[in-house]
C-alpha cells in the first residue's frame, strides 16, 4: 500500500503524541499502563479424580427421629450469629419496604387456585397466629441461632387460596432475586411458617422483612428472606427470574 504524504503526517503526529505521553514514565508506570493479561484457566481433569471437600461443611443439623425440627424453649431465643447470606453486590439486603403491615407480595396461582393477586397483611392477620422457637442453621458453622418466629402456618395460608389438588410445587422469590422451589407436601408440614416477627419484634430487613419463609428442618438457605413473590405450579415451573 502506498503511503500518501497526508497519511505520513498523521502517522508521524501519532507517534510524537505517543512519545510525549510516555516520556518521563517510570518502568512501573509503563507496566501499569499495559493491559493486564488474563490468568490462565485451570485445566479441568478429563476423568473423575479425587477433589478436596469443603472444610467444615455441612454442619450436622439436629433433627427428631421423624425428621422434624426440635422445638426450643422461648428462653433460649436470641440473635442469629454470623454474616447473613444476601445475593447482592454488597451482601446487604435490598432497600425495600420492610414494614410487615405494608407488605404487598405477588401471589400467582397460575390458574390452579381460586384466589391470586397481591397478598396484604390483612389476609394473614385473619389466620391463626403461631409462634415456635427453632434453630436456624446454615450448612456452614455460621450463621446460626435459636430464634422465636411468629407468623402463620404455610398450610393455613395455602388453604385460603383454594388450590387444586394437582398443585405440586411452590416457588418463593426474594428481594435479591434468590428463589427456592419446594413441594407442597413439605410446605404443608405443620412446622413450616410464613413469619413476620422475630423474637417478639418486627423482623428487621436484614433477617427477612416483610415476610420470611421458615422451614426449620432444612438448612437456613431454604428459609427464604424478603419474600416478594409466591408462585404455584404443576411439575413444570417457569424459568427462574433473571439475576
Query: Region 166-174: what's the mean pLDDT?
Result: 96
pLDDT at residue 127, rounded to an integer: 98
The domain spans of the chain are 96-233
Architecture of domain 96-233: Alpha-Beta Complex (3.90)
Mean pLDDT across the chain: 88
User: For residue 185, is pLDDT > 60?
Assistant: yes
Average pLDDT, integer, range 94-102: 97
Residue with cell 422451614: 215
159: part of which helix (H) or strand (E)? helix 154-160
List of long-range contacts for 78-82, beta carbons under 8 Å, 24+ apart: 78/145, 78/146, 78/147, 78/199, 79/145, 79/199, 80/136, 80/143, 80/144, 80/145, 80/147, 80/207, 81/142, 81/143, 81/144, 81/145, 82/138, 82/141, 82/142, 82/143, 82/144
Q: Is the pLDDT of residue 87 over 90?
A: yes
pLDDT-based confidence at residue 13 (cuts at 50, 70, 90): very low
**Among the listed ranges 8-12, 151-155, 189-193, which one has the minimum average pLDDT value?**
8-12
List phi, psi (to 5°) of 70: -65, 140
Compute the distance between CA of residue 148 and CA of residue 222 in angstroms, rounded to an integer. 17
Confidence grade of residue 239 (pLDDT, cut at 50, 70, 90): confident
Per DSSP bridges, beta strands 105-108 and 227-233 are: parallel
Q: What's the average model confidence in pLDDT over 182-193?
A: 98
The stretch 127-140 carries a mean pLDDT of: 97
Amino acid at each position: 500500500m502506498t503511503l500518501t504524504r497526508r497519511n505520513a503526517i498523521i502517522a508521524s503526529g501519532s507517534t510524537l503524541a505517543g512519545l510525549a505521553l510516555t516520556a518521563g514514565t517510570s518502568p512501573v508506570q509503563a507496566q501499569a499502563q499495559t493491559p493486564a493479561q488474563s490468568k490462565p484457566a485451570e485445566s479441568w481433569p478429563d476423568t473423575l479424580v479425587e477433589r478436596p471437600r469443603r472444610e467444615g461443611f455441612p454442619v450436622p443439623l439436629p433433627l427428631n427421629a421423624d425428621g422434624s425440627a426440635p422445638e426450643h424453649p422461648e428462653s433460649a431465643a436470641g440473635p442469629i450469629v454470623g454474616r447473613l447470606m444476601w445475593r447482592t453486590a454488597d451482601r446487604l439486603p435490598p432497600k425495600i419496604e420492610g414494614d410487615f403491615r405494608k407488605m404487598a407480595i405477588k401471589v400467582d396461582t397460575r390458574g390452579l387456585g381460586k384466589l391470586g393477586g397481591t397478598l396484604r397483611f390483612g389476609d394473614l392477620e385473619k389466620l391463626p397466629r403461631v409462634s415456635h422457637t427453632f434453630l436456624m442453621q446454615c450448612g456452614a458453622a455460621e450463621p446460626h441461632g435459636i430464634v422465636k418466629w411468629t407468623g402463620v402456618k404455610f398450610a393455613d395460608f395455602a388453604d385460603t387460596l383454594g388450590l387444586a389438588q394437582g398443585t405440586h410445587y411452590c416457588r418463593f422469590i426474594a428481594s435479591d432475586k434468590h428463589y427456592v422451589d419446594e413441594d407442597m407436601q413439605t410446605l404443608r408440614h405443620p412446622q413450616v411458617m410464613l413469619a413476620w416477627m422475630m423474637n417478639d419484634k418486627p423482623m428487621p430487613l436484614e433477617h427477612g422483612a416483610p415476610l420470611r419463609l421458615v422451614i426449620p428442618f432444612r438448612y437456613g438457605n431454604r428459609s427464604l428472606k424478603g419474600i416478594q413473590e409466591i408462585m404455584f405450579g404443576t411439575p413444570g415451573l417457569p424459568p427462574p427470574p433473571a439475576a
